[in-house]
Amino acid sequence: MQTLWAPWRMSYIDAPPKNNCIFCDKPKETADKENFILYRGKLSFVMMNIYPYNNGHIMVSPYKHIPSLSKLEREDLFDLTLLAQASIQILEKVFKPEGFNVGANIGKSAGAGFAEHVHIHIVPRWSGDTNFMPVLAETKVMPEHLDSVYEKLVILFTQKDFFS
């Protein structure tokens, strides 16, 4: 039997439940690297998911605390969508995935972890990236550390040509 170590998960498991919103709180801080914020736009921003489904799993969120895409004003929706498009282009360049899952879980019953603040998940996918581990062992193997993924992505997110 092999043992898989994921010690960074313990801080999440031991943490008391929070009633705050990461999509409101984290952009107010100045610790982008520690918060895995990759890009700050005028109306939206991009941050990595620290409990990713796959390497490169990012989230695009408006700054406004709004629960659904249907409630966003046109300008916010347009900015969010353009930022999602640029994010996909960057992920294509860095990771060369074979596909993507892109979507928003709107509402608690749809699986939203932060149901009151809409955000778009972008998950790079490769053929064979799912295997028996999540099904049989309830374990997901991530081949690359979050810090390494951040360093690869932030370089391109700081280049203006993706956002013009």
| One-letter identity of residue 159 | Q
Query: Which residue is catalytic, options 117, 119, 121, 145?
Result: 119
Give me the pLDDT at residue 132, please. 45
How would DSSP label each residue in 72-114?
A: S-HHHHHHHHHHHHHHHHHHHHHH--SEEEEE---SGGGT-TT
Give the confidence band of 133 by pLDDT, cuts at 50, 70, 90. Answer: very low
The pTM for the full model equals 0.80
| One-letter identity of residue 92 | E
The string of pLDDT tens digits covering residues 35-94 is 999 999 999 999 999 888 888 999 999 999 999 999 999 999 999 999 999 999 999 999
Residue 119 known to be catalytic = yes
Domains of the chain: 19-155 (3.30.428.10)
